[in-house]
Amino acid sequence: MSAASTPRRDLVHRLYSQHHGWLLGSLRRRIRNNADAEDLAADTFCTVLAARFEPALIEEPRAYLVTIAKRLAFRLFRRRELEQAYLERLALLPELFAPSEEERAILMEAINRIDRALQGLPVAVKAAFLYHQLDGLGQSEIAGLLGVSTKTVQRHLKAAMRRCYLLELDA
């Protein structure tokens, strides 16, 4: 985390003092949990601080902040939803087939990263891609499973791979 240049820092500070209270109130009305609302408000400004976008160029600060907050909120709830889904599935497994705590942590993190990477892709594309990447199935097998032609599977796989190719890998 490098120290921000003084003018930029002052701009973010001004943004914060003018809009943080409002953003927090707005989030509290939508999210019942106070701790979550506070975290999201703080993370929103952290995102602004870290963004390459110049704060001085923001014309509608509140709209901008809300957009970021919504994206972060979606991520937070999606993470929880995925974790809940995963735990529910685990609960059905006999002990013998259950992953260790460390493996669970790795799998949960992998689930989150893959979910982020494939966000927004149509379900058919995701399905084809995951059968290919995770289950190691071939194109004709996937075609049979999904009830589509091999050509369609190929199209889906290419679409998913293009998306993956364009991703910036973050820490």
Partner 1 sequence: MSRLDPAAEQAIDWMLRLHSGASASTDAAAFAAWHAHDEANRAAWARLSERLDGPYAQVRAIDARLPGQAGEVREVLLRPPQRRRFLLRSLAAAGLLGGSAWLTDRVTPLATLTADLRTGTGERRDIRLADGSQLALNARSAVDVAFDGHTRALYLRRGELVVDVAPGDRPFLVHTRHGSARALGTRFAVREEGSRSLVAMLAHSTELLAANGHRLRLEEGESAVLDGNGIARLSLRPASLGAWTGGLLVADDLPLAEVVERLRPYCRGLLRLAPNAAGLRVQGVFPLDDPARSFTALAETLPLKVADYGLFILIEAA
Residues 30-59 that bind partner 1 (CB under 8 A): 33-35, 38-39, 42, 45-46, 49
For residue 22, what are its two tokens?
């409002």
Rounded to a whole number of angstroms, the minimum distance from the CB of residue 59 to partner 1 is: 22
Stretch that binds partner 1, among 51-59, 60-68, 107-115 (CB under 8 A): 107-115
For residue 24, what are its two tokens?
């927090």
Query: Which member of 103, 144, 149, 151 binds partner 1 (CB under 8 A)?
Result: 103
Query: Which member of 29, 92, 120, 171 binds partner 1 (CB under 8 A)?
Result: 92
Rounded to a whole number of angstroms, the minimum distance from the CB of residue 83 to partner 1 is: 9
**Rounded to whole angstroms, how far apart are CA atoms 27 and 21?**
10
H-state helical runs in 1-137: 6-30, 34-50, 61-91, 101-118, 123-133
Residue closer to partner 1 by CB (options 75, 104) is: 104
**Rounded to whole angstroms, how far apart are CA atoms 163 and 118?**
7
Interface positions, 127-166, toward partner 1 (CB under 8 A):
127, 130-136, 138-139, 154, 157-159, 161-166
Tell me which residue has tokens 């930029």. 8
Residue closer to partner 1 by CB (options 51, 105) is: 105
Which among 69, 167, 67, 68 has a CA at the least distance from the CA of 118?
167
